[in-house]
């Protein structure tokens, strides 16, 4: 489980006049918006709310909304899904293109929604301060899952972003001043057309061209077409306790890439990259170039043919506490099933440092377990042997979707998966904008290993998602149909 988020005081605070409203598919915008007489549309709610108000959205399917009214730090405006099936699958009626658009509205919270099928961004936050986007499932969408621009103090927490057709799962961009302080914590980002998470100060967009004060921690980023974390013109960013694996399916520089926007002269300097677990068979684990200097890299566990590439030779990379390997053998509980907790005899145990280069290692791991658990800090995102970790293994929901082979595919491919118990199974393939193109399996199956063969010759070249669904969860793999 992720460490508790300290939002309760903010979300509970409000002015004496704060009101709780309700939206439901059975409602009417002529109603007062109460639980007994809810509104029908999210846009009507966005037009009516004021600082401190909360909008509770009941399960159903909705058109998106744009909000331009601000809350305050002590009295935010909150849009919260009541159940687990509040789906926003159409663009907002004001600006279009994006399903949820927070524009010029400070201190807004978006929590608990399913957001998909946007032409551009599922959730967009621009020219806004202190916005919290939390616990949403965002994907597939046309270009981005969650996009922010000129949004200081934004917090993107515990979201799942997948299937962004053209670009990134999470994209934090642009800065008007020196105190940006974006926090990206506890998200999972996978199966996106380019990168899992991207930061970009972007000097060409105006402002100062750097994203300062950022924190990227406790995320799981995997199976993206290019990079895991693309960190462009974000000096001083702290990157810790992330699990990053199997990216670079079709190009890409690194699992973590510290770089400059071409021509900007604003490299990613003085970052801290500590206690990340990175498994990248196709690309560099950590890559630093285009002027990147003064970055401090320690306590990472990196499996790659090119584990840590300091192309500037101007960064502090600790050779002892960074455990680098070309094979995962002996490191993890079960690398084949993506259980990257440390094996009891893993050489990554007790080799880390509490501080290096004037930077401190995190006081806990990505599950919230305190560091150190033994004689010293462990390398990577997990502290302690797998048997004592307080996080359930990724395969605990009864199913494992194994790598698709071959990948990229030009003719036939095989999808293999494992069931820990009998279950009804649906296995299908989606294109980059979320349309189902193949249904491979729809049947009840027994415990053990299974395989499905499909002919890809009818598919046009591009990126696809293979999705395995059982009653206990959903698993996906990115598939590239080659030329």
| Concatenated DSSP letters of 331-397 | TEEEGGGTEEEEPTT-TTTT-B-SEETTEEPPSB-TTS-BS-SSSSBPSSS--SBGGG-SS--TTTT
What confidence score (pLDDT) does residue 84 get?
Answer: 87
Whole-angstrom distance, CA of residue 115 vs CA of residue 157: 15
Whole-angstrom distance, CA of residue 365 vs CA of residue 386: 13
What tokens appear for 64 in the block? 């998106």
Q: Say how many Å lie between the first and final Cα of the chain, rounded.
A: 42
What is the mean pLDDT for each group of 10 consecutive residues in the chain (483 residues)? 37 60 98 97 98 96 98 97 94 97 98 97 98 96 98 97 96 93 97 97 94 97 97 98 96 96 96 98 97 98 98 97 98 93 96 97 94 95 65 54 83 88 89 78 90 88 83 77 75
Q: Exposed (0-12), middle (13-18) or buried (19+): which is 387, by Cβ within 10 Å?
A: exposed
Whole-angstrom distance, CA of residue 10 vs CA of residue 49: 17
Whole-angstrom distance, CA of residue 137 vs CA of residue 476: 14
Asked if 254 contacts 289 with a C-beta cutoff of 8 angstroms, the reply is: no
Cα dihedral value 85, 86, 89, 94, nearest 10: 180
Whole-angstrom distance, CA of residue 244 vs CA of residue 280: 8
What tokens appear for 410 in the block? 């030009």
Whole-angstrom distance, CA of residue 378 vs CA of residue 354: 10
What tokens appear for 17 in the block? 């006049």
Q: Which residues of 52-81 are buried (b: 16+ CB within 10 A; e: fewer)?
A: bbbbbbbebebebbbbbbbbeeebbbbbbb
What confidence score (pLDDT) does residue 432 get?
Answer: 65
Which region holds residue 448: left if phi is over 0, alpha if psi is between -120 and 50, else beta?
A: left
Which of helix, strand or coil describes residue 475? strand
What confidence score (pLDDT) does residue 21 get?
Answer: 97
Whole-angstrom distance, CA of residue 426 vs CA of residue 421: 15
What confidence score (pLDDT) does residue 149 get?
Answer: 98
What tokens appear for 280 in the block? 């990248």
Total-model pTM: 0.82
Q: How many residues does the chain have?
A: 483
Pairing mode of beta strands 77-81, 54-57: parallel
Whole-angstrom distance, CA of residue 457 vs CA of residue 227: 27
Asked if 479 contacts 401 with a C-beta cutoff of 8 angstroms, the reply is: no
Domains of the chain, first to last: 1-166 (2.160.20.10), 204-394 (no CATH), 399-481 (2.60.40.3880)
- Tell me the β-bridge partners of 473: 470
Place of tokens 């003064």: 294
Asked if 198 contacts 230 with a C-beta cutoff of 8 angstroms, the reply is: yes
């Amino acid at each position: 489980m992720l460490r508790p988020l300290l939002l309760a005081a903010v979300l509970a605070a409000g002015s004496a006049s704060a009101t709780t409203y309700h939206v439901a598919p059975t409602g009417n915008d002529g109603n007062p918006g109460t639980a007994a007489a809810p509104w029908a549309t999210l846009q009507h709610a966005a037009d009516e709310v004021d600082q401190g108000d909360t909008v509770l959205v009941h399960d159903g399917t909705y058109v998106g909304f744009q909000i331009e009214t601000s809350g305050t730090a002590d009295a935010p405006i909150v849009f919260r899904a009541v159940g687990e099936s509040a789906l926003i699958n159409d663009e907002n009626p004001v600006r279009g293109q994006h399903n949820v658009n927070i524009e010029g509205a400070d201190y807004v919270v978006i929590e608990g929604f399913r957001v998909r099928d946007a032409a551009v961004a599922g959730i967009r936050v621009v020219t806004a301060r202190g916005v919290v986007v939390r616990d949403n499932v965002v994907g597939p969408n046309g270009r981005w899952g969650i996009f922010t621009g000129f949004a200081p103090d934004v917090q993107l927490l515990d979201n799942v972003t997948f299937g962004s057709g053209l670009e990134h799962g999470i994209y934090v961009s642009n800065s008007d001043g020196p105190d940006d302080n974006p926090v990206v914590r506890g998200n999972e980002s996978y199966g996106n057309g380019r990168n899992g998470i991207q930061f970009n100060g972007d000097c060409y967009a105006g402002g100062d061209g750097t994203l300062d004060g950022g924190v990227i921690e406790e995320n799981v980023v995997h199976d993206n077409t290019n990079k895991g974390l693309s960190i462009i013109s974000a000096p001083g960013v702290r990157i810790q306790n992330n699990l990053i694996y199997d990216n670079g399916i079709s190009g890409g520089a690194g699992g973590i890439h510290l770089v400059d926007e071409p021509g900007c002269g604003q490299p990613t300097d003085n970052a801290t990259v500590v206690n990340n677990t990175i498994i990248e068979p196709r690309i560099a684990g950590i890559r630093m170039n285009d002027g990147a200097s003064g970055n401090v890299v320690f306590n990472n566990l990196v499996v790659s043919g090119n584990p840590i590439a300091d192309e500037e030779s101007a960064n502090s990379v600790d050779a002892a506490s960074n455990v680098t390997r070309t094979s995962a053998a002996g490191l993890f509980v079960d690398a084949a099933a993506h259980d990257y907790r440390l094996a009891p005899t893993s050489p990554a145990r007790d080799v880390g440092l509490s501080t290096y280069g004037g930077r401190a290692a995190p006081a806990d791991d990505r599950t919230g377990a305190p560091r150190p658990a033994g004689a010293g800090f462990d390398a990577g995102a997990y502290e302690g042997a797998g048997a004592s970790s307080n996080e359930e293994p990724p395969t605990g929901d009864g199913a494992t979707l194994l790598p698709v082979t071959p990948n990229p595919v030009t003719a036939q491919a095989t999808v293999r998966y494992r069931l820990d118990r009998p279950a009804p199974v649906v296995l299908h393939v989606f294109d980059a904008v979320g349309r189902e193109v193949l249904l491979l399996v729809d049947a009840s199956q027994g415990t053990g290993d299974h395989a499905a063969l499909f002919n890809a010759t009818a598919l046009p070249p591009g990126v696809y998602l293979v999705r395995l669904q059982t009653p206990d969860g959903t698993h996906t793999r990115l598939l590239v149909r080659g030329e």
